[in-house]
């Protein structure tokens, strides 16, 4: 059977770095093999560098990006805790759902989709929340929010409030600086700018948050106390919890090696250059960008479908004739917006030229 290959320029997954693909198919190791534990430790170290943190509790969770969101609320929210959630897209919306399942008293702060989180409004929503959550890079809208400003403002008011940041589409694409921004909890996914297949959720916990963790969360699989006893070898032993997804971790290890070898700032610059080129090129074609100016993600561009153009038909032509995947819009914008990702290995000028040319041709044909 012939294999199908695609250029993955949607909201993720993106085409992995070649090193990540090669590592997936490398000989498999046991989850307690000293050689694998070395790879795991090094993966956690590399994650710390990419997150910009010294947090001891920094690890890949065994599920796709959303499992990080679940782990955050499951391990750090108690029944009745006030949780303020900034909602400016689908993933803020999802945080409201997840937090409420774990018994949080959720105070949501709604924003128009396509606009960034308003720090003042989030602060004003409640005088002393237990946790404040926001999305750094909204995958549904292509909007960047200023997590640094939010986190510093929250902690200036009250050091005890935890700050949670969804970094699924930001990590290893744009600057993330957990320690400098004083963020307590953050999660990501491997299939975006990290350039790995979907299947892991990098996660990090500040010492302040760790002190306030739930001792026996409702979830066993995501109980960070139990997971930590396996992942953290610094105390000597390794207590088996669940079988780690060894192939995926080896793949993440390899991609992180590639990213750090290129240099984090160079990687961010590459994403910035590609995104700028794409956004300029789309506007030069007469297309209108969706995300508010000044708050646009370089790694994920949202563009309005021109009046009279069949959104799905254009995507269909791109997929079948050009082998290119771009994304539909999310939620109410499903048929009026396209999402074009330039993430990880795809944050390159050749991908920009490719998608600009193919999109122009597909719109003309549709």
Residue selected from 59, 67, 119, 318 as contacting its own copies according to rule CB under 8 A: 67
Task: State in angstroms the smallest separation of the CB of 32 from its own copies.
Answer: 8
Pick the stretch among 33-41, 128-136, 143-151, 275-283 that binds its own copies (CB under 8 A): 33-41
Report whether 360 belongs to an annotated binding site. no
Residue selected from 153, 247, 273, 354 as contacting its own copies according to rule CB under 8 A: 247
Cβ-based neighbours of 330, under 8 Å, separated by 6 or more: 89, 90, 139, 140, 141, 337, 339
Site for its own copies in 280-299 (CB under 8 A): none
Residue closer to its own copies (CB basis): 150 or 326: 326
Task: State in angstroms the smallest separation of the CB of 159 from its own copies.
Answer: 29
60 binds its own copies (CB under 8 A): no
Cβ-based neighbours of 322, under 8 Å, separated by 6 or more: 7, 354, 358, 361, 362
242 binds its own copies (CB under 8 A): yes
6 binds its own copies (CB under 8 A): yes
Residue selected from 220, 262, 288, 357 as contacting its own copies according to rule CB under 8 A: 220
SS3 content of the chain, % helix, strand, coil (to 5): 40, 15, 40
92 binds its own copies (CB under 8 A): no
Task: State in angstroms the smallest separation of the CB of 206 from its own copies.
Answer: 23
Phi first, then psi, for residue 344 (nearest 5°) are 60, -120
Pick the stretch among 117-125, 151-159, 216-224, 231-239 that binds its own copies (CB under 8 A): 216-224
Region at 167 (left for phi over 0; alpha for psi -120 to 50; beta for the rest): alpha
Phi first, then psi, for residue 282 (nearest 5°) are -65, -45
Task: State in angstroms the smallest separation of the CB of 10 from its own copies.
Answer: 6
Cβ-based neighbours of 358, under 8 Å, separated by 6 or more: 318, 322, 324
Task: State in angstroms the smallest separation of the CB of 208 from its own copies.
Answer: 25
Residue closer to its own copies (CB basis): 102 or 203: 102
Task: State in angstroms the smallest separation of the CB of 169 from its own copies.
Answer: 11
Residue selected from 35, 211, 284, 293 as contacting its own copies according to rule CB under 8 A: 35
Q: Let me know if 146 is exposed, middle or buried by CB neighbors in 10 A (0-12, 13-18, 19+).
A: middle
Q: What gap in Å lies between CA 282 and CA 325, rounded to an integer?
A: 17
Q: Within its chain, how far is the Cα of 120 from the centroid?
A: 24
CA nearest neighbour of 176 among 276, 261, 55, 264: 264
Q: Where are the alpha helices (DSSP H) in the chain?
A: 18-24, 34-51, 66-76, 90-101, 119-124, 147-157, 178-181, 207-211, 224-231, 246-262, 264-284, 311-322, 349-365
Q: What gap in Å lies between CA 329 and CA 311, rounded to an integer?
A: 9
Residue selected from 132, 197, 255, 347 as contacting its own copies according to rule CB under 8 A: 197
97 binds its own copies (CB under 8 A): yes
Each residue 298-337 as x (binds its own copies by CB under 8 A) or -, in order, gives: ---------------------x-----x------------
Q: Let me know if 118 is exposed, middle or buried by CB neighbors in 10 A (0-12, 13-18, 19+).
A: middle
C-alpha dist (Å) from residue 31 to 58, 146, 179, 265, 340: 18, 38, 30, 33, 37
Rg of the chain on CA atoms, in Å? 20
Residue selected from 17, 19, 24, 51 as contacting its own copies according to rule CB under 8 A: 24
Residue closer to its own copies (CB basis): 143 or 227: 227
Residue closer to its own copies (CB basis): 221 or 322: 221
Residue closer to its own copies (CB basis): 154 or 340: 340
Task: State in angstroms the smallest separation of the CB of 22 from its own copies.
Answer: 7
Annotated binding site for substrate: 339
Residue ranges in contact with its own copies by CB under 8 A? 3-6, 8, 10, 12-13, 15-16, 21-22, 24-35, 62-67, 69-70, 74, 94, 97-98, 101-102, 189, 191, 197-199, 216-221, 241-248, 319, 325
């Amino acid at each position: 059977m012939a294999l199908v290959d695609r250029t993955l320029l949607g909201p993720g997954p993106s085409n992995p770095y070649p090193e990540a693909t090669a590592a997936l198919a490398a000989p498999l190791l046991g989850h307690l093999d000293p050689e694998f534990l070395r790879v795991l430790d090094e993966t956690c170290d590399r994650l710390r560098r990419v997150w910009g943190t010294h947090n001891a509790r920094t690890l890949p969770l065994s599920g796709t990006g959303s499992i990080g969101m679940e782990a955050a609320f499951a391990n750090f929210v108690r029944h009745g805790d006030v949780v303020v959630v900034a909602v400016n897209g689908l993933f803020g919306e999802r945080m409201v759902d997840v937090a409420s399942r774990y018994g949080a008293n959720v105070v949501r702060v709604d924003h128009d989709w396509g606009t960034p989180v308003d720090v003042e409004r989030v602060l004003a929503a409640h005088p002393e929340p237990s946790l404040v959550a926001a999305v750094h890079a909204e995958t549904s809208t292509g909007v960047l929010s200023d997590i640094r400003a939010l986190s510093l403002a929250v902690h200036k008011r009250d050091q005890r409030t935890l700050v949670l940041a969804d970094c699924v589409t930001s990590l290893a694409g744009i600057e993330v600086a957990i320690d400098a921004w004083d963020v307590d909890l953050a999660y990501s996914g491997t299939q975006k700018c990290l350039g790995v297949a979907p299947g892991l959720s990098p996660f990090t916990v500040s010492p302040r948050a760790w002190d306030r963790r739930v001792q026996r969360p409702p979830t066993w699989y995501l109980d960070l106390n139990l997971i930590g006893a396996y992942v953290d070898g610094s105390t000597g032993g390794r207590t088996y919890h669940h079988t780690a997804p060894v192939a995926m971790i080896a793949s993440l290890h390899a991609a992180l090696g590639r990213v750090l070898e290129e240099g984090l700032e160079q990687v961010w610059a590459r994403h910035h250059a590609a995104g700028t080129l794409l956004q300029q090129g789309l506007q030069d074609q007469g297309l209108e960008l969706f995300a508010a100016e000044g708050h646009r993600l370089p790694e994920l561009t949202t563009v309005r479908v021109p009046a009279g153009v069949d959104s799905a038909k254009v995507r269909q032509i791109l997929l079948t004739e050009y082998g290119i995947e771009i994304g539909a819009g999310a939620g109410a914008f499903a048929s009026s917006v396209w999402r074009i990702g330039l993430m990880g290995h795809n944050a390159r000028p050749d991908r920009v030229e490719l998608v600009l040319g193919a999109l122009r041709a597909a719109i003309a044909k549709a």
